[in-house]
Amino acid sequence: MSVRKICVVVTARPSYSRIKTALKAIQEHPKLQLQLVVAGSALLGRYGNAVDYIESDGFKIDAKVFMVLEGENKTSMAKTTGLGVMELANTFYNLKPDAVVTIADRFETLATSIAAAYQNIPL
């Protein structure tokens, strides 16, 4: 069996805390290749800049997806989701993962799920 590429999308600081142990397990597994995508509020300082923690923990980031629009209202959340679908679709097309893992229940997670589903990538 060949190495399977597992793409994990981290979109917020609390999500990183929840998935960190799994990231290490994927990284250490001989038949899995971790593809790490950091997106959404995980890239923004005002939301805790999770990307800095991820890098300081030694994880290689395969892609950064900037997709958050200002406004913090229902309209900006819908637009952020739409932008996220477009950007994550390109990211998945380029990385060609065998599976995508998404964490939490925010609108960024919805964008991740839609982008993966339309490319028939298991979630």
pLDDT digits over 70-113, tens only?
887 999 999 999 999 999 999 999 999 999 999 987 888 999 99
Tokens at 112, concatenated: 């991740």
Q: Where are the domains of the chain?
A: 4-118
CB 42 within 8 A of CB 51: yes
CB 2 within 8 A of CB 14: no
Superfamily of domain 4-118: Glycogen Phosphorylase B; (3.40.50.2000)
Residue 45 pLDDT: 80
d(CA 55, CA 115): 25
d(CA 65, CA 40): 7
Q: Which amino acid makes up residue 41?
A: S
pLDDT digits over 24-75, tens only?
999 999 999 999 999 999 998 888 889 999 999 999 999 999 999 888 799 9
